[in-house]
Structure 1
Amino acid sequence: MQEHIRQLFSENIQTMIATGESLAGPLENAACVIVNNLISGGKVICCGEGATSALANHFAQLLLDQFETERPTLPALALLPHNHSLQHCHQQDYLARQIKALGQSNDVLLVISLTGAEPSLIKAVEAALTNDMKVIALTVDTSGELSGLLNQQDVELKVPVHRPARIFECYTFLLHSLCELIDMTLFPQQGDL
């Protein structure tokens, strides 16, 4: 069992190295998009489906509260996950409806996808683009339709891994890295504390 444990750590390290090599530029771009939109008075709207909605909530909370150092709050929210008790809300557009109601052209949608084919996330991205919002998408190599919706102003953070556990680890690390880059850019003096 200990050998298997060492293999898990090794797999994680190799995955993180590969992700770092492929996503350094896009991660910087994503941080710049968020910072520029926050400076212009926008907010970050986060969403995922199923388990990735927890990551969306986590990221929004880190922006609202703080990452590692105390700083002013940043405007962010996570969309409500699908609630089967909402009788009039169509199953696949529950996120899109929230974006239509809350999203504005100076906002950023941060969408977290495990497959790139989740209908609710595709409709969310379509709604964001209709509202002239920028999109940052955390995706995997197999991402199809969702990736195809993105344009040049959007940023795709496509992790080079397929195992769900490694995907979640990468996504969590990417979100924490984004927080650090945002804080470092907006509040450089906070890092000196």
Structure 2
Amino acid sequence: MQDKIRQLFSENIQTMIATSEVMAGPIEQAAFRIVSSLIEGGKVICCGDGATAGLAQHFAQLLLDQYETERPCLPAFALHQDQSSLSPSPTTNTDYFARQVKALGQKGDILLVISLRGEEQSLIKAVEAALTCDMSIVALTVEGSDELSGLLNAQDTELRVPAHRNARVYECYAFLLHCLCELIEMSLFPQQGEL
């Protein structure tokens, strides 16, 4: 059992090292885009499907409240997966994020999308909706996320984790989101970090 535990730690560490070697530039770019949007009065809209929905909520909450620095709230929220409604809707059950993006997203906002497979139709439709609203995308993806990745353009940033096991990817995503929070706070509130 202890050998297995050590193996799990080793896999996590190797995933983090591999990600750090290819991701420093994209992480910096993603943080810069989010900071620029916030400075210009934009907001960060987060979404994930299934297991990654919790990460989207976590990131939005860290921006809204605080990460490690006492500072003003930043405008961020996570889209809801709850499809319950009092009346039947003619939309397909993969439109729920896209409809929220269309209703709440504006030019200059950021859509932060977190995908474990790159083929979740709800996330793909959310990205398509964000692009029609002239929003920028920050996408956390994995290798083989060609359908979602193919929608991104020069104003978007992809943080593609070089791992295949969902558990390692999820762990890496959580770390990447914490990196972004720290860089955002450091950029927007440099004095508070010195207290």
Confirm or deny a common fold (TM above 0.5). Answer: yes
Preserved contact between residue 141 and residue 158 of structure 1 (Cα < 8 Å): yes
Q: 1:18 corresponds to which letter in structure 2? A: A
Q: How far is the alpha carbon of 1:51 from its aligned partner?
A: 1.1
Aligned residue number for residue 37 of structure 2: 37
Q: Tell me how far apart the structure 1 counterparts of residues 18 and 95 of structure 2 sit (CA, whole Å).
A: 34
Aligned residue number for residue 74 of structure 1: 74
Structure 1: 5+ residue stretches without partners: none
Structure 1 position 177 matched with structure 2 position 179: yes
Q: SS at the partner of 1:177?
A: helix
**Alignment map for 1:43-192 (pairs within 5 Å):** 43-85=43-85, 87-88=88-89, 89-192=91-194
Q: How far is the alpha carbon of 1:141 from its aligned partner?
A: 0.7
Q: Tell me how far apart the structure 2 counterparts of residues 19 and 188 of structure 1 sit (CA, whole Å).
A: 26
User: Could you say what the CA RMSD is over the residues aligned between the two structures, in angstroms?
Assistant: 1.0
Q: Tell me how far apart the structure 2 counterparts of residues 158 and 2 of structure 1 sit (CA, whole Å).
A: 31
Paired residue total: 193
Q: Tell me how far apart the structure 2 counterparts of residues 27 and 12 of structure 1 sit (CA, whole Å).
A: 19
Q: How far is the alpha carbon of 1:85 from its aligned partner?
A: 4.6
Report Cα offsets for 1:58-82 as digits up to 9, x if no partner. 0000000000121110000100114
Q: 1:46 corresponds to which letter in structure 2? A: C
Question: Structure 1 vs Structure 2: percent identity of aligned residues?
Answer: 70
Q: TM-score, normalised by structure 2?
A: 0.97
Report Cα offsets for 1:134-171 as digits up to 9, x if no partner. 00000001101100000001000000001011011000
Structure 2: 5+ residue stretches without partners: none
Name the stretch that deviates more: 86-95 or 69-78.
86-95
Q: SS at the partner of 1:45?
A: strand
Q: SS at the partner of 1:29?
A: helix
Q: Tell me how far apart the structure 2 counterparts of residues 84 and 19 of structure 1 sit (CA, whole Å).
A: 38
Preserved contact between residue 82 and residue 91 of structure 1 (Cα < 8 Å): no
Report Cα offsets for 1:79-129 as digits up to 9, x if no partner. 011425563142011000000000000100000001110001000000000
Aligned residue number for residue 20 of structure 2: 20
Preserved contact between residue 19 and residue 160 of structure 1 (Cα < 8 Å): yes
Q: SS at the partner of 2:176?
A: helix
**Structure 1 segments (4+ residues) deviating >6 Å:** none
Q: SS at the partner of 2:126?
A: helix
